[in-house]
Structure 1
Amino acid sequence: MIDLAVLDIAGTTVEEHGAVYVALEQAVRAAGGQPGAGDIQRWMGADKREAIAALLALPETDASLVGGVGRSAADASLVEATFADFRARLDHLYRERPPAPLPGVPEALARLREAGVKVALTTGFDRDVTSGLLKHLGWDEGVLDAMVCVDDVAAGRPAPYMIFRAMELTGVRSTERVLVAGDTTRDLEAGTNAGAGYVVGVLTGGLDAVALGRTRHTHLLPGVADLPSLLGLDRPAHPK
């Protein structure tokens, strides 16, 4: 049995129609970058400022810090301006096509928590973006045990720090009793780097089983809705 499920948001628990990566590509192109589809894919699940800096091919220096990476003042300013543009574009896309829980996810979260499993979400979004998204979903109260954003830790995925922070917030001490699930290779890398007992890839995002399966994992599932079954908890959360 596990004590904590640590789950990604976009593409894992929430259907947001790829808006994050559309907005990211648009913002980077508007700032002068020329990312291809493969470039965007490589930065799925990452800290968005870190992704922007990499996609703009900005050199590292010993100057200011942006997303934990040394950059010149001019480059730091460009990253921040591009990030602000990304957030504005994402907000517009969300208003045009609101995000929603993926099928079966609310029921799966309820079943996990009913069985005594803590549920935490982690994300490459900052706190402001995430708080608005959770409020829109109705997940800001009574649905989760913890929420960890990239600006809560020293480095985003594939570093394991968001997972460790979720453990700290929920009082879980053993990484072997933690399940990590996500739809990107960085989600799986973070879970492995944390030493999680379960590292689960889900196929509700932009990667198929072949692409996601190349990264070390313990299980591949169609989606988070299948986690209760994996854990032997697949009876209804509120049986009649």
Structure 2
Amino acid sequence: MNPVDLVVLDMAGTTVEEHGLVYKALADTVIAAGGSADDVGRWMGADKYEAISSMLGRSEVDTEFADFHERLAKYYAEMPPTPIPGVPEALAQLRSRGVKVALTTGFDRPVVDGLLDVLGWREGVLDAVVCVDDVSAGRPAPYMIFKAMELTGVRDVRRVLAAGDTARDLRAGTNAGAGFVVGVLSGSQTAEELGASRHTHLLRSVAEIPALVESGGVA
């Protein structure tokens, strides 16, 4: 019997290779608005509106957020995102074993819809997709994980595996009380950086998650 009912995965850097373009767009937006993007790295996995607001030091950044969307769409058109190698197969393996799969992301719905279209993940690949604008607060708050549980009918958080490539992903998994909190090294943060946050496992990529689930959590 699977020890996991639901696998909750981040998008950029975890399941999707988007070449760091979201952080390039974020930095370019803040700089164009007269701010400093020196600390853009600490906003990995966060709500992008919150990131822009904090880096510019003001609460209302609707114009800048629209600019971020435009820049990101342009970058994605020039260099389309692709699935990280082994991820589509891993998602299919998990779902074939009765494990639900959900994506959660610090992107808002318009960005995510575009990504899903490019990836061909609209139908038959996922059980739920939760965006930061679906909940009251993004990571490290646990609400996107709880929303994914609600959407997939999973009630026991101990049977949830939450995985991502940033420390914020791990903190969200821990805050949710997930039975498995997994860091993956497919993004820009190192094993040392991820290891500083509470976790149960560190893996090279999402491609290794089906084997972890099949082993009962014994890495």
TMscore range, shorter length = over 0.9
1:119 aligned counterpart, secondary structure: strand
Detail structure 1 runs of 4+ shifted over 4 Å in the superposition: none
**Alignment of 1:26 onto 2:28:** yes
The answer for the alignment partner of 1:216 in structure 2 is: 198
Task: Give 1:128 shift.
Answer: 1.0
- How far residue 135 of structure 1 moved from its aligned partner, in angstroms, is 1.0
Q: Which residue matches 1:157?
A: 139
Given the two structures, how large is their TM-score scaled by the length of structure 2? 0.96
- TM-score, normalising length from structure 1? 0.87
Task: Report what 2:86 is aligned to.
Answer: 104
Task: Supply the distance in 2 between the matched residues of 1:126 and 1:192 (Cα, whole angstroms).
Answer: 23
Equivalent-residue separation in structure 2 for 1:91 and 1:21 (angstroms): 13
1:82 to 48, 52, 64: 64
Mapped to 1, the partners of 2:123 and 2:105 lie a distance apart of 18
Match of 1:93 in 2: 75
In our comparison, the structure showing a higher alpha carbon Rg is: 1
C-alpha separation in 2, matches of 1:43 and 1:164? 21
For 1:23, the aligned partner's letter is: A
Gaps of 5+ in 1: 59-70, 234-240
Q: AA paired with 1:144?
A: L
Residues 1:53 and 2:53 aligned together: yes
Show CA shifts across 1:108-138 (max 9, x none).
0000000000000000111111011101100
Unaligned 5+ segments in structure 2 are none
Quote the Cα distance in structure 2 between the aligned partners of 1:162 and 1:145.
14
The RMSD of aligned alpha carbons is 0.8
Q: Deviations over 1:8-36 (max 9, x none)?
A: 00000000000000000000000111121
Match of 1:191 in 2: 173
User: How many Å apart are 1:41 and its aligned residue?
Assistant: 1.2
1:32 partner SS: coil
Cα deviation code 1:80-117 (max 9, x no counterpart): 11111111111111011100000000000000000000
- Alpha-carbon separation, structure 1, partners of 2:16 and 2:99: 20
Return 105-114 or 223-232, whichever deviates more.
223-232
Task: Write the distance in 2 (CA, Å) between the matches of 1:213 and 1:91.
Answer: 33
For the pair 1:140 / 2:122, whether they are aligned, the reply is yes
Percent same amino acid at aligned positions?
67
Match of 1:5 among 4, 7, 25: 7
Which residue is 1:204 aligned to?
186
Give the whole-Å Cα distance in 1 for the aligned partners of 2:30 and 2:196: 28
Report the count of equivalent residues.
213
1:172 aligns with 2:154: yes
Deviations 1:188-218 (A, max 9, x none): 0000000000000001111010111101111
Alpha-carbon distance between aligned partners in 2 of 1:144 and 1:159, rounded to the nearest angstrom = 22
Match of 1:124 in 2: 106
